[in-house]
Amino acid sequence: MIPGVAADFSQDNIWVSLVKAVLIVVFLLTSVLFAIWFERKVVARMQVRPGPNWHGPVGLLQSLADAMKLLLKEDVNVTRADRVTYLLAPMISVFCALLVFAVIPFGPEVTIPFTDFTTPLQLTDFPVAVLYVLACASLGVYGIVLGGWSSGSTYPLLGAVRSTAQVISYELAMGLALVSVFIMAGSMSTSQIVASQAPLWWFIPLFPAFVVYVISMIGETNRLPFDLPEAEGELVSGYMTEYSSMKFAWFFLAEYINMLNVSAVCVTLFLGGWRAPWPLSALGDGMLNEGWWPILWFLVKLWAVMFVFVWVRGTLLRLRYDQFMVFGWKVLIPVALAFAVVVAVMQWARRVAEVPLENTLVVIVIVCGIAFLAIWLWPERARPEKPDESAVLDAFADGYPVPPLPGQKLPPSPRGRRAPLEHEPDQEHQADDLQKEGVTGE
């Protein structure tokens, strides 16, 4: 048994691990097909239309038809692209996305039917499993960056640069939100974090960190309202503009797998993992938290978080890029950092001063309430006054000409005020002469 890990993998061998890995890949691929149908159906209901309803029962085979369409489309390669990097980039994104579920626990230890073999419903785990998840998410952005750079086009490059800045910004907030969970659970092992939530799910005492994580995970996966790297109104399709057929499908697949990844991490770290909700967990002395039942609770929670993705997409509009970055750096990161400090102080009080957990929760609620009131009552910054429309702008005040801003006007031109020179004909006399000659201008 691995120290610091709640799950026992002592009976697993290479064949068991291989079967688990294959099952995880099959689960992710089928979940992506279902997620595409689920998203289209939910958004359609929000917009009062039927959505996919032709291929298969209630349109369930529509995602399979879309996959076949991408598979059979013409595969176009860009002439100016860096060929090796251009082909390798989508594979990097998909490969990194497939790695995360290796440390996600689907349930506790189970016994395989008709055998005495016992194994955890998890591929593997180790004391720093959550850091492994963050590392996989960080490496996945290399596929986006290399895909945008290797395309040899302006729009993909801009989308790749945006994605890099976006991941750096929102992974910091996400990591700081997860620090609060590490402090409360006393571990970074996913199975140990799930075990620590037996008395209380962490989203209740760590609600501010939970909110920061939910916002960060939407920004991390480039989803509306944070889909700036592929904003069709600005960048056509961002880093995927020059990709077609299956190469485009790999990027599309990686995006939906990443949605499943961050949803699974949210369930594992904040929503009790595979544990049953409170009314059901009390039935039969916790019988519903044993055997194969926990897989059901895990999947229900997973798709509840996926519904939040779809709900946000169908509700909110896309932010401007500057608003998006300001929100990440000036709001999410300071809030997550301040809350992590509060949780650290409260955990020290629990461990050293032996303060009961209930008192700790009360203090956290009071501190969060005070912080919320302070933000709510903080005086608004005075807006700059509108420039006086009657003011005359001296364009050469600083030694070089500057254009007027809205509400400003330039002084009259000196040429319009000076008298005509002796050798220059007067404009009125010149017009009279032209009329006498029969020349008119219309």
Residue-averaged pLDDT of the chain: 80
pLDDT band at 392 (very low <50, low <70, confident <90, very high): low
Query: Per residue in 320-368, pLDDT tens?
Result: 878 888 888 888 898 899 889 888 888 887 777 676 766 677 777 777 7
Sign of the Cα torsion 297, 302, 307, 308 reads positive
CA 408 from centroid of its chain's CA atoms: 42
pLDDT at position 384 is 60
Determine contact, residues 28/101, Cβ cutoff 8 Å. yes
pLDDT at position 11 is 81
Of 112, 161, 168, 125, nearest in space to 8 by CA: 125
Phi then psi for 55, rounded to 5 degrees? -85, 110
The pLDDT of 280-294, averaged and rounded, is: 73
Phi then psi for 94, rounded to 5 degrees? -70, -45
The pLDDT of 96-115, averaged and rounded, is: 87
pLDDT of 165 above 50? yes
Per-residue tokens: 292: 């194969």
pLDDT at position 441 is 44
Q: What residues have CB less than 8 Å from 48, skipping those under 6 apart? A: none
Per-residue tokens: 167: 């991941």
Q: For residue 385, what is the DSSP state? A: P
Which residue intervals of 291-390 are DSSP H helices? 293-313, 321-327, 333-351, 357-377
pLDDT band at 25 (very low <50, low <70, confident <90, very high): very high
Of 114, 121, 72, 176, nearest in space to 293 by CA: 121
pLDDT of 239 above 70? yes
The pLDDT of 34-61, averaged and rounded, is: 87
pLDDT at position 365 is 75
The pLDDT of 73-95, averaged and rounded, is: 83
pTM for this prediction: 0.79
pLDDT of 79 above 70? yes
Residue type, 350: R
pLDDT at position 382 is 60
Of 263, 333, 284, nearest in space to 104 by CA: 263
pLDDT band at 213 (very low <50, low <70, confident <90, very high): very high
Residue with tokens 């000036």: 330
What CA–CA distance (Å, rounded) separates 89 from 77? Answer: 13
Q: Cα–Cα distances in Å, from 28 out to 25, 84, 223, 285, 291?
A: 5, 27, 19, 33, 22
Three-state secondary structure call for residue 392: strand
